[in-house]
Amino acid sequence: MVQPPRTPVPVSEQVITLGKSVEGREIVIHIFGEGTGGTLIIGAIHGNEPTSASVAEDLIARLRNQKDGGERVAIIPAANPDGLARGLRTNKNLVDLNRNFPAANWAKTRKGVNFGGQRPASEPETAAILKAFASFKPARVVSIHSMEKPCNNYDGPAKSLAEAMSKCNGYAVKENIGYPTPGSLGSWAGIDREIPIVTLELSHSMSGENAWQENRAALMEVIAGQR
């Protein structure tokens, strides 16, 4: 008997609270699809880079409308909600969350815009991201940021992933961002744990909508899970 064609159904979505920020804002993760591994995408670790959260939100909307997804995808649209609300790079405790991960190269530094905290993983926002890694166990990661000159900066075994993204967004592929990043997510996940991770640096002067249009194909290439 010939079976009728299967009607595609929307990809399932779970929304889970990973924790709360210093000021009590929820840090949530949106999970699409089933299975293990997959892709973890993180926006707004730095609160003064709002286009990173905007692009992450646009990706969530795109996946909600997608029929029959492939590998599992998890998205934290705003990892630093207090900083995002205040327009600050740091969290409420004035800690740069991207220097607060328990990487082998973490080092205590003077207080300032890159202050990594009194100890590794001292901040509730960092703990929420670490919880996502522990429960989701991603096969690959994209952390969205923004800077003056956009690029696909990779850590660990992620060169081919960065190159695949570059074919879509035209950004330079960089193994080194040009300055030390002790205690960064790339150091902890990519170098220490050998999880392929790309820091997608958007153009700081670009609008969220334009950044999404310029990077939509690159993010969907990552989600395809073929790199």
* Alpha-helix residue ranges (DSSP H) falling in 8-117: 50-64, 81-86
Nearest Cα residue to 14 out of 27, 33, 36: 33
Give yes or no for a contact between 97 and 183, defined as CB atoms under 8 angstroms apart: no
What's 8's DSSP letter? P
Q: Choose, from 57, 71, 125, 201, the residue flagged as catalytic.
A: 201
Question: Does residue 201 have an active-site annotation?
Answer: yes
Name the amino acid, one letter, at 52: S
The packing angle between helices 159-169 and 208-223, to 10°, is: 130
Q: What three-state secondary structure class fits 2?
A: coil
Catalytic residue ranges? 201
